[in-house]
Amino acid sequence: MRLFQQRHEVVVWAPAKVNLFLEVLGKRPDGYHAIATLMLAIRRFDTLGITEDNSGAIQLHCNRSDLSTGADNLVVRAARLLQERTGCSRGCRLRLIKRIPMAAGLAGGSSDAAATLLGLNRLWQLGLATGDLEKLGAELGSDVPFFFHLPAAWCTGRGEIVTPVAFPRALDLVLVCPSFGCPTADVYRQVKVPEQPLDGTGMLAAAAAGDVEAIGRQLHNRLQPAALTIAPKIAEFVDRVEALQPAGTLMSGSGSTVFAVCLDRDEALRIAKELRKSARGEFAVHVVRSCSAQHPP
């Protein structure tokens, strides 16, 4: 996540993420599922601009008219939570430019919430440590803490326990973003907990080695079969991508985005070109690179 101070405005770039591995371990007493997942930030960003509001109010404006800007929005909730926990009486005007598809398994809302906490901590000069912001983020959503540990992390619990992972190279990816989304709660209601969950050892080894072909072979998402029961069309998109023979193909998170892991940029551009020929308005195609130590958010 990248933060800029521009005169009276703080600007934060909020990246999307993909899940290279996601296993469901069981159902927790609190109703959530215990998971283990390898998340990787990618270079597709929402932009959040934050300025002071002397009235103490919190106002959100967005370029997407179909996104609520009221009290239910994670950005607004993050700002209000920060006010409540710190006793800060200052207000803000938030300007959100959405580029990350919504309800797509890319965690755009969670990233925007993390960006809000980070940006307001700077604007309001609160002096909170990253760990403090991470704890607040966990109250807002399971994916939010990840965005304080970019570019890659192994996440457990309900996703809020984050262990950073060294990722030695950037990956070239193609995103297939359908015109429809998948409600996360609905997908989890359909998921079947395996008797013997995969442990992710193979994926972590492949990631540590920066071996793209091995990463492609180790891709796994336990939520994908559940999402296909809700949105069977996703299976068609998976088949279209797999037919173009990238290193690997997987649905991200609870869907609906399908992504291809490619050997290099040229392969990603080739696959994207072929997919666009048959898109027919059913999905958008984006060529992206993951964030890494060499290519940070």
Q: Is the pLDDT of residue 175 over 80?
A: yes
* 53 tagged catalytic: no
Residue 242 in tokens: 């797999």
Please, which contacts does 196-205 make with residues 24 or more away whose CB atoms are closer than 8 Å? 197/23, 197/24, 197/25, 197/36, 197/222, 198/21, 198/23, 199/23, 199/36, 200/21, 200/23, 200/36, 200/38, 200/154, 203/20, 203/21, 203/38, 204/38, 204/154, 204/165
For 137-163, letters b (16+ CB in 10 Å) and e give bbebbbbbbbbbbbbbbbbbbbbbebe
pLDDT at 296: 63
Reduced to 3 states (helix: H, G, I; strand: E, B; else coil), residue 59 is strand
The DSSP secondary-structure symbol of 290 reads B
Q: Is the pLDDT of residue 204 over 80?
A: yes
* % of the chain exceeding 90 in pLDDT: 94
* 143 tagged catalytic: yes
Residue type present at position 129: A
- Comparing C-alpha atoms, which of 38, 25, 37, 22 is closest to residue 222? 22
Domain residue limits, the chain: 2-164, 172-289
Write the DSSP assignment of 185-212 as a string of letters. HHHHHH----SS----HHHHHHHHHT-H
Residue type present at position 126: L
Residue-averaged pLDDT of the chain: 96
Q: pTM for the complete prediction? A: 0.96
pLDDT band at 295 (very low <50, low <70, confident <90, very high): low
* % of the chain exceeding 70 in pLDDT: 99
Q: Which residues pair with 162 in a beta bridge?
A: 155
pLDDT digits (tens, 9 = 90+) for 244-288: 999 999 999 999 999 999 999 999 999 999 999 999 999 999 999
pLDDT digits (tens, 9 = 90+) for 211-241: 999 999 999 999 999 999 999 999 999 999 9
Q: How many CB atoms lie within 10 A of CB 32?
A: 14
Handedness of CA 52, 54, 56, 59 (dihedral sign): negative
172-289: in CATH 3.30.2270.10: no
Catalytic residue among 17, 46, 98, 172: 17
pLDDT digits (tens, 9 = 90+) for 109-153: 999 999 999 999 999 999 999 999 999 999 999 999 999 999 999
Residue 229 in tokens: 């029961």
Catalytic residue among 46, 98, 112, 143: 143
Tell me which architecture the domain covering 2-164 has in CATH: 2-Layer Sandwich (3.30)
Reduced to 3 states (helix: H, G, I; strand: E, B; else coil), residue 7 is coil
Average pLDDT over residues 91-103: 97
Backbone angles phi, psi at 289, to 5 degrees: -120, 145
pLDDT at 294: 62
Please, which contacts does 214-220 make with residues 24 or more away whose CB atoms are closer than 8 Å? 215/20, 215/171, 215/247, 215/248, 215/261, 216/246, 216/247, 216/248, 216/261, 217/247, 217/248, 218/20, 218/21, 218/248, 219/20, 219/21, 219/248, 219/249, 219/250, 219/261, 220/21, 220/22, 220/23, 220/250
pLDDT digits (tens, 9 = 90+) for 35-46: 999 999 999 999
